[in-house]
Amino acid sequence: MATPQMDRFTPVFAIAAAAELAEMHPQTLRQYDRIGLVSPQRTRGNTRRYSLHDVSRLREVARLSAEGLSLEGIRRVLQLEDRVQALQSQVRELERALSEERLQRTDRRVFAAGSAGGEVVTLRRGTRMRRNAEVVVWKP
C-alpha cells in the first residue's frame, strides 16, 4: 500500500492546534469558517481539519484585520488573491504549451520589416532580408 503524499494542503491539524499555530481563539476559526474566510476540510465525523495552507491563510486574515480591513473586505482580498494565483498558473501553462508548440513546428515562418513603410514580410527559413544601405541627408 502506497503512503499518501503530504503537502501544504493536507488537512492534519485539529481546530485547537490550528488556532494555536495561527495565534487565535478556536471560536474565531469557527466564525471564519461560517463566513467562508477559511474553509477547512471535514472528517467523516464532521470535525474540522486544517492544513498548513489554512493556517497561513488564517495568519493573513489576522494581518489584514490588524490593518483595519473589515471581514467582508478581507474576504474580497482573499478572493482576488486566489484569482491572481489561478491566472498566474494559467499563464505559466499557456507559456509552456506555446513553447512546446514552437519547438515542434517544422514549418516555422520568419518575418521581417519591409523597407517601404515597415510592412511585415514573410521570408523563407534560412534567408535574410536585404538591407537598404542608402544614406539620406536632410537639410532644413
Rg (CA), the chain: 28
Specify which residues 121 forms β-bridges with: 112
- In the chain, domain spans: 8-68, 75-129
Does the pLDDT at position 110 exceed 70? Answer: no
User: pLDDT-derived band of residue 103, with 50, 70 and 90 as boundaries?
Assistant: confident
With a cut of 90, say whether residue 33 has pLDDT above it: yes
Could you tell me which CATH class the domain 8-68 is placed in?
Answer: mainly alpha
Residue 111 Ramachandran class (φ > 0 left, ψ -120 to 50 alpha, else beta): beta
Q: Specify the pLDDT at position 27.
A: 97
| Residues 6 or more apart in contact with residue 33 via CB below 8 angstroms | 39, 40, 48
